[in-house]
Structure 1
């Protein structure tokens, strides 16, 4: 039960932290909560479908199906998070320029809401898929009764979501309103970099990519990956105690590209505003 509870706790904590950051970023946007809820529901549906095909997927790829699926989902989430950051930067500029006409800006951003739905859905799908794979692995080597199985899932999910909620409201409370957007943007960039690094780690460890696969350093003596601090740092900042070259490259390249596109977006928004004023 403890192993199952720990696995579910970790993944539910990650889900709640990611959703917390997304909620903080989109707090001032009308109806964004409805789209986030829709994304959660869609992710649950996709995860349920994935549960039926997990075994067939693994067998069809000779044991590397899970790695391919998880790395693909991580890359997709990295792209969607990056796109969301860039979109929100542009949106933030528009709100500052037209703060008395928020409804117009919401209307202009309707297409982006669907990207928000898919971002949340893929986040739920990825974490749920990892829960399914890990719990399936535990149950395949240990005899676990249905009651113990259910207890582990309930305890892990409840504790993970509660801790995530506490962290989320703590962020909202300690940060002034004008800093919430900046803090959330930084966190999302780090999270996107972490997903990119994790995808690179899966691809190199499975042997699918051997480029820059050598370990660069080992900081586990300071903070181990399996420690509670290490897990939280990994979720929030993408921390890895023993990264290889491709993971480090993926991490910093993702953050760099996000910042480059943010500057392009802000410059475009500024030029558009000047043209409209003329």
Structure 2
């Protein structure tokens, strides 16, 4: 539940910040609020269609290949979360610049207002799709009650939108840096944990046989079923009995995410130099 809340928090934080920036930058555009609301509604509908499509595809597997499908979705979710961490670097400055140009073009009559609808709808669809994929991934590896999913999504959405609005209004300029830093670290570890869980499914089902032997057993110290074990699993992908492939996927995920963050930072610095 906490893992769901963390991811939903980050996605809703992005949505709140993005919509805040869009509303501020496109203020000179006539009826901009109407187009923003229309774009948000279209994005929500498209995200719902995406959710139904994901469900239909998963049930079509019928039983044969369920583990393969689940592991692929989990890996895709881990990749999307990692990319979100990388992509958010310098996000606000870039989006403000792009939206300012879009606003000027709309006001000058060079671009249709429906481009604004498209921008908002695409953003809502992207964040909604990430949430849907992640919740599906969690359901593939954990047996949670329906109420816990709703509670996790509710807490994450409320916290994300609240902090996003507060940050945009300038009430948490100092704290904002730490909010993004902490959530970036947590999301990087959550993505690594998901990658390790996918490796566990692939090795236990026989799709991957290499490095499938258990490396160690720390259940005598912290078991997966204990409260501390569950907290560590949520926050950093802890497993008391990992195999070699799980460790390889876990470390590779962190290495790839950090490497892309460094690369994006280098490129960004050269671009703005």
Q: Report the TM-score when normalising by structure 1.
A: 0.67
**Offset from partner CA, 1:24-81 (integer Å, 9 cap, x none):** 466543358989987776554444345456554134x3xxx22111111111112211
Measured in 1, the distance between the counterparts of 2:148 and 2:188 equals 27
Corresponding residue to 1:57 among 47, 56, 61: 61
- The answer to whether the 8 Å contact 1:211/1:246 transfers is yes
Single out whichever of 251-260 and 124-133 deviates more from structure 2.
124-133
| Correspondence for 1:82 | 82
1:254 aligned onto 2:237: no
| Correspondence for 1:238 | 237
* Compared CA separation, residues 80 and 241, structure 1 to 2 (3 A): same
- The answer to whether the 8 Å contact 1:217/1:242 transfers is yes
Structure 1, unpaired ranges of 5+: 1-9, 96-101, 139-151
- The answer to whether the 8 Å contact 1:25/1:180 transfers is no
Corresponding residue to 2:5 among 13, 16, 19: 16
Q: How does 1:123-202 map to 2 (within 5 A)?
A: 123-128=131-136, 131=139, 153=146, 155-161=147-153, 176-202=175-201
| Correspondence for 1:210 | 209
* Compared CA separation, residues 158 and 91, structure 1 to 2 (3 A): closer
Q: What do you get for the CA RMSD once the two structures are aligned?
A: 4.0
Measured in 2, the distance between the counterparts of 1:37 and 1:125 equals 20
| Correspondence for 1:48 | 52
| Correspondence for 1:148 | none
* Compared CA separation, residues 169 and 91, structure 1 to 2 (3 A): closer
| Correspondence for 1:141 | none
Q: CA deviation at 1:196?
A: 1.0
- The answer to whether the 8 Å contact 1:25/1:185 transfers is no
**Offset from partner CA, 1:163-199 (integer Å, 9 cap, x none):** 6579879999999222111111111111111111111
Q: Report the TM-score when normalising by structure 2.
A: 0.68
Measured in 1, the distance between the counterparts of 2:179 and 2:141 equals 35
* Compared CA separation, residues 37 and 250, structure 1 to 2 (3 A): farther
* Compared CA separation, residues 132 and 258, structure 1 to 2 (3 A): closer
